[in-house]
Amino acid sequence: MKRVLFLTFFLWAVATSSWALKIKDLGVVPYGDYLLAYAYLEDLPWEDLKQVLRHGLGLKFTYRLEVYRLRRFLKDEKITQQEINRTVYYDPVKNVYFVQTVGAQAPYRAVSIRQALMVASSLEGVPLLPLARLSPDATYRLKVKAVVQKISKTGWPKKIIKFLLFQGDSLDTPWESLKFSL
């Protein structure tokens, strides 16, 4: 009986881990007066996301970034927390994909879905915080989590049913962390 349970759990763990998104190449770089973060999403289901966009739905990429100062005997101190939102949508009249970053003036125009999803799934040079807030003798941890959601325009009955049945249209990554010091 224990072997059957172990085998079932093992197969479930292997199957679910292969379907999840992953964050790769997580890094931080001091540049000028700021600390910049870099990360990329891996294992995107390209065909599924392409179908979502072609059917008129949008995609929302949400990145949660947190920086902690590590302390030896006390709880780690949270220095900053950010949330970066990017929305990808398709304009069938112009045959162009748009990537809108919250806070940017104009959306990025991409001619292919691959280009649009590459822009939305990468964090390149995102300013985290000024270097003046960090001390050179301390150790820090950057934690990053990403969630990709399908944006659907549904009425209230479908929203209530979706909420009651706990069915979401999202993919997410586990928290990925990186220790660093200046």
How much is the pTM? Answer: 0.79
Q: In this structure, what are the phi and psi dihedrals at residue 81, rounded to the nearest 5 degrees?
A: -145, 130
Asked if residues 26 and 141 have their Cβ atoms less than 8 Å apart, the reply is no
What is the token pair recorded at 74? 């006390």
The confidence score (pLDDT) of residue 153 equals 64
Please provide the average confidence, as pLDDT, over all residues in the chain: 82
Average pLDDT over residues 74-81: 92
The confidence score (pLDDT) of residue 168 equals 55
Q: In this structure, what are the phi and psi dihedrals at residue 147, rounded to the nearest 5 degrees?
A: -130, 130
State whether residue 90 is helix, strand or coil. strand
